[in-house]
Amino acid sequence: MSQILAIDQGTTSSRAIVFDANLHVAARAQQEFAQHFPRSGWVEHAPEDIWTSTLESCRKAIAQLDGGAAGIAGIGITNQRETTLVWDRATGAPIHNAIVWQDRRTADICRALRDAGHEPLLRKITGLLLDPYFSGTKVKWLLDHCEGARERARRGELLFGTVDTYLLWRLTGGRSHRTDATNASRTLLYDIHEGNWSEEICALLDIPTAMLPEIHDCAGHFGDTDPALFGRALPVLGIAGDQQAASMGQACFTPGMLKSTYGTGCFALLNTGDVAVASRNRLLTTVAAQLNGRRSYALEGSIFVAGAVVQWLRDGLGLIAQARDTQRLAERADAQQNVILVPAFTGLGAPYWDAECRGAIYGLTRNSGPAEFARAALESVGFQTRDLLEAMRADWPGDQAGGARPAPVLRVDGAMSGSDWTMQFLADITDAPVDRPVMLETTALGAAWLAGMQAGLYPDQSGFAGLWQADRRFTPAMTAQDRDARYAAWKDAVRRTLGG
């Protein structure tokens, strides 16, 4: 057996990619599913949509292989993180729709915890900020608002999981209720220093520990799929949250290496090795990977809206028919106009962390039109990335981890990294070279590498790192004067949006 099936379950679609023994794509399939917005700031997925879109994508990819599932040595799973599901242990029936990571309904819970003085404790134990983004307050909300849920959870009748856990449970026919350390580290319930669920935080949020999954290394035997699903039982050998999987797919194994993924949101991870750096600039301290029982850490900056801003241009404003039209429009924008879009559609993430603010546009003139909107949308991604890199540089002193500093090169991936215009602006506004790899499917690649390494099919970290190849390097071309002026205008726009 010489193939690995990677499941990449994302915010707007589920994908399945089969990699061969040389880490080349042998087959792929993708299926979008519906987004639900029951109220302003609320975002939900139907659990069955998550499952059926994943299952169908896997079956379609496998059907493209000459031998079907016969050559698959294992499955790797990567997933949208923080999205929260609770279901019945016996029947599998969810008690509510999945609450998506973008959802802001628990802002009041977070505010009450903050006002009660609990944020320093939560920050110290989990490395996270007190924000609706994370799973813990979502679980509390479900137990508070679904009739009888907390009592059922205390009796052991309900299970909690992020998307990886839910998919694993469905794939194994309910036999495996597990997660990995990277996904656990995004729940606000996990002690990143001790490597286990925090009973203190669970008690604070009134979440019964009986509903939490077992925590394992990113590479290991998580369980076997129900034979009826794919014609034979397949072992699940790797799991990692999407951003950590992308970091692994980019071979960012060395302290100081930095990657940024541009999907629905944007997420930059700086590898800090075995040092869990406490951010002074409102970044997150998270688990980068756990292999052979050893955890490595990262500083993470999370931007809630990146590719989603292009979806807004298409679906919300109707300015474009397809995502690729954005670059064409941006290229035609009037260079004399300085339209700035702050895409705080669901609040602002790092380093601001304001769940209440909403998006705004500045600098409109009578001549502003679709081209200027498109350019502002793409530029907002570069501006937000610079915010993250500025915070990381401030948080990462040279005397830690052997003097490592953020790499002068930013490795990028995700759908938006395919836009030359956007990547050039990113290099310009950050004043850093931007490397786009040959293999853009780095999230799925990271999941595949975990499973393939566990199966003995793929090399270890050093061997895998040697296979990484750049497709193109974008080098800064903007003058320092223009760069500073553009970024100052962005910072002013953010300040106004935040109400400053």
List, run by run, the mean pLDDT of 10-residue segments along the chain (500 residues).
Answer: 93 94 95 92 95 97 93 96 96 96 92 95 94 94 95 96 97 97 97 96 96 97 96 97 94 90 87 90 93 94 84 84 82 88 85 84 89 91 92 72 60 88 94 92 95 96 92 94 94 88
Q: Which two tokens stand for residue 302?
A: 């999370």
Backbone angles phi, psi at 37, to 5 degrees: -125, 75
Identity of the residue numbered 452: G
The residue count of the chain comes to: 500
Confidence (pLDDT) at 346: 78
Rounded to whole angstroms, the Cα distance separating 451 from 76 reads 5
Radius of gyration of the chain (CA): 22
Confidence (pLDDT) at 401: 46
Q: Is the peptide bond before 351 cis (omega within 30 degrees of 0)?
A: yes
Confidence (pLDDT) at 159: 98
Relative to beta strand 340-342, strand 235-241 is unpaired
Domains of the chain (ranges; CATH) run 3-242 (3.30.420.40), 250-437+469-500 (3.30.420.40)
Q: What global pTM score does this model have?
A: 0.87
CB burial string 348-371: b at 16+ within 10 A, e below: bbbbbbbbebebebbeeeeebbbb
Confidence (pLDDT) at 395: 86
Question: Could you give the residue ranges of the DSSP H alpha helices within 323-441?
Answer: 325-331, 370-395, 420-430
267 close to 260: Cβ distance less than 8 angstroms: yes
Nearest to 356 by CA among 21, 55, 41: 41
Question: Could you give the residue ranges of the DSSP H alpha helices within 172-331?
Answer: 181-184, 199-205, 227-230, 242-249, 307-311, 325-331
Backbone angles phi, psi at 382, to 5 degrees: -65, -45
Say which residue the tokens 């260079």 belong to. 335
Confidence (pLDDT) at 480: 93
Q: Which two tokens stand for residue 87?
A: 């279901």
Confidence (pLDDT) at 466: 92
Confidence (pLDDT) at 400: 47
Rounded to whole angstroms, the Cα distance separating 206 from 185 reads 19
Nearest to 235 by CA among 79, 75, 78, 77: 75
Q: Could you tell me which residues come within 8 angstroms of residue 403 by beta carbon, excluding any fewer than 6 positions away?
A: none
Relative to beta strand 72-79, strand 235-241 is parallel
Q: Could you tell me which residues come within 8 angstroms of residue 12 by beta carbon, excluding any fewer than 6 positions away?
A: 32, 33, 35, 264, 311
